[in-house]
Chain A
Amino acid sequence: MKYALLVHQSQEHFDRRNDKAAVAAGRAYAEALQAAGVFVAGAGLDSPRNATTVSIRDGKRQVHDGPYAETKEFLAGFGIIYVPNLDAALEWAARHPAAGFASIEVRPLLGFGSAKA
C-alpha cells in the first residue's frame, strides 16, 4: 500500500524550517526512509503566500492569489511511502521530525496509485 504523509503545521513552525537542526533532521528522515526501501516521493512545500489557485468555472479559467483556503495550519510538505499496512505507515509518520509539533495526516493513495510502481 502507498500512503501519503501530509505535514500540517503552523506559520510559527513553518518559519523555522530552515534552521540548521530542522534541515539536518529532515535529511536524516529522508535517508532512513530510503534505507528502509519505503520511500516513493516527497518534498517540502514553499509558503502558501507563494501559492496560486486555478479553477475552471463555466469553461473559463480563473486564477487567484493564495491557497485554496486560508487556515491556521497548512500543508507544509508531503511524503509518499510504500509499506504493508496502516500500522507501518503510522510508525513512519510518528518518526517524522515534525511530528513533535506538527500533525502528520496519513492517507492511503487511491486504487491503482496504491500498488507498487
Chain B
Amino acid sequence: MSESVTHAAIETVAQDSYGRLIAYLAARSGDVAGAEDALGDAFIAALRRWPAEGVPEKPEAWLLHVARNRMIDAARRKQVQQKSETFLQQITEEAASVAATQEYFPDERLKLLFVCAHPAIDPSAQTPLMLQTVLGVDAARIASAFLVSPAAMSQQLVRAKNKIRDAAIPFRVPVPPELEERVSFVLDAIYAAYTTGWESLMETASTHHALASEAIALGRTLTQLMPHEPEAHGLLALMLHCEARREARYASDGDFVPLDRQDTALWSQSMIDEAETHLHSAAGFKRMGRYQLEAAIQSVHASRAKTTHIDWKEIALLYEGLVRIAPRIGSLVGRAVAIAQAGEPLTGIFCP
C-alpha cells in the first residue's frame, strides 16, 4: 500500500476519532496528558507500520491497543500505585473486549467535556482544554486565538491536566440536581470558544474564522451527545445564526455593518436553516434557557431576509425573558434598545 494512501487513512482517523480515542483512554486512567502521550505514540507506530502491513480493519481498535500498551509501560515505569494497578487490569479487560466484539468502543466524550468544564478547573483553562482534548486543536493555535503566548498556554493546559489526574476529578456525567449547573458550565465554555474568536477579530479575521468553526464543531458534538438537552440545541442555533452573517458583517472597505443594515443576500441561508432546525428541536422540550432565548432573538433578526422588516416587539419580549433568566448588562442594554426600536423609548430607559 502506498504511503500517501496510509497517510490519508491516518489523517481521517485522527480527524474523525481523536476526541473519542482520548476520551476513552482518559476516562479509564483519569490521566488526560498520559492518554495524549500514549495516543501520540500509537499514531507514530501507525505511520511506521501501516504502509507495510496495510490499514487495519478497525484502525481505532488498533490504535487503542497500542496506546493501551504504552500506558501500561508508562505506569510500570512510574512504580505503579494500587490505583493504577486496578486501572491496568480494567483497561486490559476492556481493550480485550473491544478487540473481541465487533462493537465500536464506547463514546466517553461527554464525560471528557464535563471534566474540562469542571468547576475545580481554572475557568480560563476550560475552553482551551476542550478545544485541545476533544477536537485536537494544537496549543499554538489556541494560544493565538486567546492572545497569549504559546508557552503560557501550554503551561496552563499542563497545569489543568495535572490537576485532573492528581486531584482525581472523576470522568462522569453529573446527575441532578448538580446536572443543570454543570451543563451550563459546558455550554459557557463552548460559547467562550466562539466569542473569543470575536474578540480577536480586531487582530486577524482568519483566527476568528478558525475558532468559530471549532466552537460550532464542539456545539454539534454536544447536541449529538446530549440530544435531549434543549440548551445544547439553543447554543448551536445561536452560534450558527451569528456565523451565518460573517460575510455581511464588513463592507468591502472594511467598515463594520450593523446587523439591521446588513445585506441579507450575503447571509448563509443553509446555516440559518440549520440554526432554525435546532431552535425548533429545543422548543419541543418546553424548557426555556439563556441560549435558546439568545438564539430566538437572532432568529427574529434572521427572518428579515424574508419579511424585510424586524419585529422589535418580539425581540423586546425575548429580551424580557433573557433579563429574567440572566440579568447581565448585555441583555439589559439589548432590552432597552429593542423597546426603543419598538417605539417606546421612555419605557426602554426607565423600565426596571
Contacts and interface: CB of A to CB of B under 8 A. Distances in A.
Instruction: Output the residue of B167, B169, B172, B174 with the most chain A CB within 10 A.
Output: B167
A115 B168 contact: no
Interface of A: 1, 84-88, 90, 107-108, 111-112, 114-116
Contacts of B166: 108
A113 to B, nearest CB: 11
Contact of B82 (A86, A87, A88, A115): A115
A87 B83 contact: no
Contacts of B83: 1, 114-115
B180 to A, nearest CB: 16
Contacts of B167: 86, 107-108
A90 B182 CA distance: 14
A87 B81 contact: no
B170 interface: yes
A85 B170 contact: yes
B172 A115 contact: no
Instruction: Output the residue of B82, B168, B172 with the most chain A CB within 10 A.
Output: B168
A106 to B, nearest CB: 8
B120 interface: yes
A86 B83 CA distance: 14
Contact of A84 (B81, B82, B170, B174): B170
Contacts of A87: 169-170, 172, 174
A112 to B, nearest CB: 7
A18 B256 CA distance: 65
Contacts of A111: 81
Interface residues on B, range: 10 to 19
In the A-B complex, list the 3 residue pairs whose CB atoms are closest, starting with the nearest: A85-B170, A85-B168, A1-B168
Given A86-B169, A87-B169, A87-B172, 5 more contacts: A86-B168, A108-B166, A108-B168, A114-B81, A116-B82
Nearest to B120: A86
A54 to B, nearest CB: 29
A15 B168 CA distance: 35
Contacts of B82: 115-116
Nearest to A112: B81
Instruction: Output the residue of A87, A90, A115 with the most chain B CB within 10 A.
Output: A87
Contact of B81 (A85, A86, A90, A115): A115
Nearest to A91: B178
A58 B167 CA distance: 36
Contacts of A116: 82
Contacts of B168: 1, 84-86, 108
Nearest to A88: B170
Interface string B152-173: 0000000000000011111010
Contacts of A108: 166-168
22 contacts: A1-B168, A84-B168, A84-B170, A85-B168, A85-B169, A86-B120, A86-B167, A86-B168, A87-B169, A87-B174, A90-B120, A107-B167, A108-B167, A108-B168, A111-B81, A112-B81, A114-B81, A114-B83, A115-B81, A115-B82, A115-B83, A116-B82
Nearest to B182: A87
A99 to B, nearest CB: 15
A112 B172 CA distance: 25
A115 B167 CA distance: 13
A87 B120 CA distance: 9
A94 to B, nearest CB: 11
A87 B30 CA distance: 13
A67 to B, nearest CB: 26
A107 B120 CA distance: 11
Nearest to B166: A108
A16 B63 CA distance: 60
A75 B192 CA distance: 36
A73 B226 CA distance: 42
A1 B174 CA distance: 20
B110 to A, nearest CB: 15
Contacts of A114: 81, 83
